[in-house]
Amino acid sequence: MNICIIDDDEVYQFTTLQMLKKINLEKNVMAFYDGEEAINFFLDHLDETSKLPDVIFLDINMPIMDGFQFMNEYIKIKPQVGKKITIYMISSSVDPIDLEKAKNISEISDYIIKPIKRGELKSIFENLKKGGKI
């Protein structure tokens, strides 16, 4: 399973990776500091689905390309992706506008308020496994 973290916060990336290690899921983690880096990676690997993520943890507020802009670009290339990717929007924003906007994007599985806790992360992967998504 490939896990992708798209977030400009180095501390968040580091702590998420540490939590993934504690639940034995750190082996195939890729990280990007903004949505543009991630989209470029996707475009470069559209014909190599084994390199694309199965799960994405996506921040909203990032420089260059934010989480919502990433989703707009992802939706455009989704038919070419060739695999189901589960996307969680992870943000410190509790703004009802952000929550509603995320809720209206069907490709976003859930909106999680930072900081994500280890138990919450473990529960996400248990539910994905139960649902046959991973």
Write out pLDDT tens, residues 77-131.
999 998 999 999 999 988 999 999 999 999 999 999 998 888 899 999 999 888 8
Q: Are 88 and 57 in contact (CB under 8 A)?
A: yes
Q: What is the pLDDT of residue 36?
A: 97
Question: Degrees (nearest 5) of the Cα angle 130, 119, 91?
Answer: 100
Q: 3-130, which class in CATH?
A: alpha beta
pTM of the model: 0.94
Alpha carbon distance 23, 20 (integer Å): 5
59: left (phi over 0), alpha (psi -120 to 50) or beta: beta
What is the tally of helices (H) and strands (E) in the chain? 5, 5
What number of CA atoms fall less than 13 Å from residue 76's CA on the CB side? 10
Nearest to 17 by CA among 46, 57, 60, 66: 57
Q: Compute CA distances 100 → 34, 56, 76, 94, 103, whole Å.
A: 22, 19, 21, 10, 5
Q: What pLDDT digit, counting tens, does each position of 20-73 carry?
A: 988 888 779 999 999 999 999 999 999 999 999 999 999 999 999 999 999 999
